[in-house]
Structure formats: structure tokens, C-alpha cells
Amino acid sequence: MKRLSGITESFTESVIREMTRVCDAANGYNLSQGFPDFESPDEIKRAATEAINKGLNQYPVTYGERELREAISRKARAYNGIISDPETDVTVTCGATEAMIATLKAIINPGDEIIVFEPFYENYGPGGMLSGAVPRYVTLHPPDWSIDPGELERAFNDRTKAIIINTPNNPTGKVFTREELDMIGGLCGRWDAFAITDEIYEHILYGNERHVSLASLPGMEDRTITINSISKTYSVTGWRVGWAIAPKKITSSIRKVHDFLTVGAPTPFQHAAATALAFPEAYYSNLRARYSEARSFLFDTLVGAGFRCAMPKGAYYILADISGLMERLGADSDVSFSHKLIELTGVATVPGSSFYSVKEKGRRHVRFCFCKRQETLDAVSDALARLRESPVL
């Protein structure tokens, strides 16, 4: 057989999704892949079945059903301060994942560099490689995941095509401040680079945190591609409906890639998504209240069990330091630790190395998600307490 694609040899299948399979096989508690184990809102489930029963089952408009593009544009204006024309600036995709790959493919030429903050959401690595981009990593420094302005400045150069920002951030829980976004915007302007922002956790914020969209900052509207999805906000990760908002010229390039990659996102779910985007403010405050409780509960559980972690400011993950427990579990890495943890407690996590370019950097971390029912979190708490009480070696 001739050699298969060299690009695909450069990355592995997703570890996050692999951990879900490992968890299912062990019948464990899935705190690895970030999806809720509670029901999606009835109203959008009804909207989806109504759309199916009404016969909305054929191909959608390739770049998105008009009703949904209009709903996206309205919401982006009201919540994000982004002005967009649904006819020319919005592309509906199969989840934020496709929006990111389609965007990268639409703007990258071989050898172009993209700046990625590290730790990063696993998908950005392969997404970048599939588009032919060369990644340059800039560290988010623990414990508060701050940016070193000098390091960021040094990452930009003539070859920089784009910077990827994910705020609120997976896996760190960082929420980029207005000042940080101003600094990033300034550098994009200076180096004529695009900004690609993944804002999928925009409603999952704690305390007084506020979400700021980079595209709403002066001068950034022409060079920012804003990516989002209904997956996390409306607890429908399996529906695969996301989007990219970008100026007309960039959008027409994204739409071409999207058209030939997937033709379109599922038609009935697009109509249900339009219903979701019109939910009242109370929906979002309830979501925040629910996750706020889950966050405190998991944080206390983890600290009680011997993990070291910082309280996330947004999103629904805790990246926990396992240094104090590795020896106890006879684990020499994040990967062996996560497998031992499932074996001993049934709790599934994601090894920290999945979020770093150099595996070693994530060797002392695992990521937990807390988008789960209280019942699940109670069971996890009991399981992890047992770990502390009984000798496991």
C-alpha cells in the first residue's frame, strides 16, 4: 500500500473522545468529555421534533437556514456587540469544530503561522495541522493563567496569519480580560493578523466575570472571525450546529470550504437552534447558577481528595494538579494516572498532556468537567473520598 497522508500521521485521534470510550467500557463517571448528563431543554427538543414533523428534513441552505442566521445575527448584536449581516457575514456549520477547521482552511496558506495559547483545547492542534498552518505556542501561566506580554509580542512576526483565542477558556477556566483582548487586538493590527475566537462558553461565567468579544473592540471587526455553537449553552452537544461570524470577504471563503466539507448542518436542528437563541435572560442565569454550584462542589471534592487546583472563572472544567497523588496511585504520568483513576474509582478524566504541544508539560495534570447532575457529582465525591481513605498501592 502506498503511504497514507503524512498530515494524518502527525496527530492521533482525540484523547478526550477516547477517554469517553474507556469510561463507557468501565461503566464509569464521565468527567472527561465536556457534555452534560442531564436533559436538554424541553422547548428546543419540541422545536426539533416539530421541524422534523413539518418536513424540514432535506438539505438546508448550505451556509445556514435564513431563520437561524437571522437569530445568530440578532443575538450577536445584543450579547456580543457584534454587528453582522445574516446574508453575508454568517455561516452555519456542523458545530464549532467545523467552523474552526473551515475558517483555518479559508485563511491559511502553507507555512503561515498561527498563535495558540497553551494549554489549549485539543482540537486546535490537528485543526491547525489539517489546514497546513505552523503553530506557535504562547503560555498561559498558572495559577491564574496569565499572559506574559513580552512572550506574546515575540510570537508575532511577518508569517503570523492568525491567533486563536478561546474565552472563557477550555481547559483552564480563564476568562480573557478586556485589557488582554486590547493587547491581542493591538498586536493583530500591528502585524495584520486575523483573530479567530472560539466563544462557545460565553454564557458559562462565574462571580462578576463578563464576556468580552474581541470582534466588538474598535478596529477588530474587520479581522476577527467569531466562532460559536449551541452545544454548550443549550446542552445539545450531539446536534452539531455551530457558526462563524466574519466580514463578507472572509465569510465567502469560509462558505466555500464549508460547502464542500459538509454541505450543511442538520436542517431540523438549525430550526430548533433558532428557537434556543431566543430564550429569555432567565435561561442563562439559571444555567450559570447551576454550573456555579457544580463548580464549587467539584472544587471542594478535588481539594479534599488531594488534588491542587485553581477555581475556574468560566467554562465547566477544572485542570487539576496530580503531583500529590501520583505516587500513591503508582502513576508516572498523567496518562497512567487517568487510567488508574478509572480503574480504582470509576472516575474518568482527560490526561493533561492532551492540552499541550509537548507532552511533558501536561504530565502533572488531569482535567475534570463538572457539567453533570448533582447525583453524578455526589457519586464522584464518594468515589474520590474512598481513594483518600484506603491505601491503594
Q: Please give the residue ranges that form the binding site for ligand GLN (CB under 6 A).
A: 16-17, 33-34, 97, 121, 170
Q: Judged by CB, which is closer to ligand GLN: 34, or 185?
A: 34
Give, for 303, the enclosing helix (H) or strand (E): helix 281-305
139 to 4, 114, 151, 315, 355: CA distances (angstroms): 33, 14, 8, 19, 11
Non-local CB neighbours of 102 within 8 Å, separated by 6+ positions: 91, 93, 244, 254, 257, 258, 261
Residue 156 or 370: the one with the smaller Cβ distance to ligand GLN is 370
Q: Give the DSSP H or E segment for 18.
A: helix 15-26
> How far are the Cα atoms of 144, 202, 245, 392 from residue 198, in angstroms, in the given order?
20, 9, 11, 41
Number of residues in the chain? 393
Helical residues (DSSP H) of 86-213, grouped into ranges:
95-107, 124-131, 149-155, 178-191
The Cα 227–Cα 275 span in angstroms is 19
Joined grid coordinates for residue 136: 506557535
**Smallest distance, ligand GLN to C-beta of residue 55, A:** 30
CB of 124 or CB of 337, closer to ligand GLN = 124
- Output the nine-digit C-alpha cell for 162: 492568525
CB of 170 or CB of 228, closer to ligand GLN: 170
Give dist(CA 271, CA 362) in Å, integer.
40
| Distance of alpha carbon 322 from alpha carbon 368, whole angstroms | 12
The CB-of-375 to ligand GLN minimum distance in angstroms stands at 20
Cβ pair 10, 135 in contact under 8 A: no
Residue nearest to ligand GLN (CB): 34
Choice between 33 and 84, CB closer to ligand GLN: 33
C-beta closer to ligand GLN: residue 176 or 368? 368
State in angstroms the smallest separation of the CB of 170 from ligand GLN: 5
Nearer to ligand GLN, 33 or 224 (CB): 33
Q: Decide whether 112 or 199 has the Cβ nearer to ligand GLN.
A: 199
Q: What is the closest distance, in whole angstroms, from the C-beta atom of residue 392 to ligand GLN in the complex?
A: 27
CB of 175 to ligand GLN, least distance (A): 17
Furthest-apart CA pair in the chain: how many Å? 62
Helix/strand/coil for 69: helix
Is the CB of residue 126 less than 8 Å from the CB of residue 149?
no
| CB of 21 or CB of 249, closer to ligand GLN | 21
Q: How far is the CB of 50 from ligand GLN (least distance, A)?
A: 27
Between CA 220 and CA 142 the distance in angstroms is 28
- CA-based nearest residue to 213, from 251, 177, 253: 177
Residues 84 and 61: their CA atoms lie apart, in Å, by 18
User: Smallest gap, in angstroms, from Cβ of residue 97 to ligand GLN?
Assistant: 6
Which of 244, 269, 224 has the alpha carbon at shortest distance from 97?
244
Task: Tell me whether residue 17 or residue 190 sits nearer to ligand GLN (CB atom).
Answer: 17
* Min dist. Cβ of residue 244 to ligand GLN (A): 16
Least separation in angstroms between CB 237 and ligand GLN: 7
**CB 110 to ligand GLN: min, Å:** 26
